[in-house]
A = this chain, B = another copy of it.
Amino acid sequence: MSTPPIETFPNPAPNRRYVITHVNPEFTSVCPKTGLPDFGTVTIRYIPRERCIELKSLKYYYLSYRNEGIFYEAVTNKILDDLVAACDPEEMTVTTEWRTRGGIHSIIEASYHRSQQQ
């Protein structure tokens, strides 16, 4: 799949370690097995370095998954990879919480720490 670009803007306080959280309770993609839609809440939490994520482009980025077939574990890791590539943060965590399927609901949480990359 090709996703729209995630835009960024200059961090207004680049010398301070602080935390930005964006919560999207309206995420939807498609189960690759059944072709049925999945619904979830995607939360990103990051410590910016030079760039912050621009909210409108983030919304369109999420929208690009609407008719894509992708598993919970894969979409969570892909969002993390894409957002880290876009804004090069100090740290970032992506959490996805999914509505009940077959009586079970799921939560996936993946993190990136810049200092732990080589």
Contacts and interface: CB of A to CB of B under 8 A. Distances in A.
Copies of this protein in the assembly total: 10
Interface string A50-93: 00100110110001001100011110110000000000000000
Contact of A19 (B28, B39, B71, B108): B108
Interface in A1-28: 11-13, 16-26, 28
Interface of A: 11-13, 16-26, 28, 36-37, 39, 48, 52, 55-56, 58-59, 63, 66-67, 71-74, 76-77, 99-112
Nearest to A93: B18
A83 to B, nearest CB: 13
A103 to B, nearest CB: 4
Given A26-B99, A36-B63, A12 B71 contact: yes
Nearest to A36: B63
Nearest 3 Cβ contacts at the A-B interface = A18-B110, A13-B77, A21-B107
A71 B98 CA distance: 27
A12 B19 CA distance: 28
A48 to B, nearest CB: 8
